[in-house]
Amino acid sequence: MNETSWMNDPSLSGIDPAKMQMLFSFLQQAQGKNQNELLPVLMAAASQSKNTKNAFQPSELEAIVAVLKAGKSPQEAEKIDRMWSLMKQFAGRR
């Protein structure tokens, strides 16, 4: 699977294309960053999505995370879960 092919997964077809574009932009910014460098990018992306009409619904985020984890090794899936947990903790503070 190439870097963006997951965005064409049928389970994501109900997500507004503007939201998917915003997500793609975030992923480009996050590429190659370690966990410490990624946190400010995650915080900015969460803030940006909340401040627009394109805020992701919880069900949309869950679907995206599930697609991202598909076919990953247990270690990679765990890393995604940790990042998802951090994002949810940050969102809960706002």
- Quote the pLDDT of residue 83: 81
Domain contains 4 = no
Domain contains 77 = yes
Domain contains 6 = no
Domain contains 43 = yes
Residue, of 93 and 68, whose pLDDT is higher: 68
Q: Is the distance from CB of 87 to CB of 42 less than 8 angstroms?
A: yes
- Quote the pLDDT of residue 74: 92
Task: Give the CA distances from residue 38 to residues 10, 20, 42, 83, in Å, rounded to whole numbers and listed in that order.
Answer: 28, 19, 6, 9
Q: pTM score, two decimals?
A: 0.69
Domain contains 73 = yes
Q: How far apart are CA 72 and CA 6, in angstroms?
A: 12
Domain contains 10 = no
- Quote the pLDDT of residue 39: 66
Domain that holds residue 26: 16-93
Residue, of 19 and 94, whose pLDDT is higher: 19
Q: How many domains, the chain?
A: 1
